[in-house]
Copies of this chain bind each other. A is one copy, B any other.
Amino acid sequence: MAKDRHWNCGDPQQHLVWAEATTDALRVLEGKWKIVIICQLFGAKEPLRFSELERRVEGVNQKMLIQQLKELEKDGIITRTVYPQVPPRVEYALTDLGKALGPAMAELIDWTYLRRETLDVSGSAKQSLSATS
């Protein structure tokens, strides 16, 4: 994989080059809720309605959700589909470019679990993760 082509080359100049490229591309994910939104869409494995997203992205408000969704759509990460009916129904789904973020999101989620395990050695919060049913 290309995974190890970046920082395994000794050329420090190369680092600065992809640094710029990375900074530029990461700007697409800039915004308080975007990564969480993408994680949710990826986890759902199917398009989500606006109201679903609003419920799953904990703590977000309508305005911010709309704004971040718009930017994600503009940047080609998600698609927005309107079904002309009453009550209105709008679904959001990942594009191919968005789906390509899957491995990164998976690794991020793995890290969040590792972090949990690191933090509570007492295992207090970890139990709420296994006790789902």
- Minimum C-beta distance from A73 to chain B (A): 15
Q: Is A57 an interface residue (CB 8 A)?
A: yes
- Minimum C-beta distance from A41 to chain B (A): 10
List chain A positions with a Cβ less than 8 A from chain B.
Answer: 1-4, 6-7, 11, 13-26, 28-30, 32, 35-36, 39-40, 42-45, 56-59, 97, 100-101, 103-104, 106-116, 118, 128-129, 132-133
Q: Are B112 and A24 in contact (CB under 8 A)?
A: yes
Cα–Cα distance between A116 and B18 once the two chains are bound (Å) = 11
- Copies of this protein, total: 2
Cα–Cα distance between A113 and B118 once the two chains are bound (Å) = 32
A19-B40, A58-B19 given; A113·B2 CB < 8 A: yes
- Minimum C-beta distance from A60 to chain B (A): 9
Q: Select one of B19, B25, B118 contacting A116, CB under 8 A.
A: B25
Identity of the chain B residue whose Cβ is nearest the Cβ of A16 in the assembled complex: B56
Q: Are B14 and A132 in contact (CB under 8 A)?
A: yes
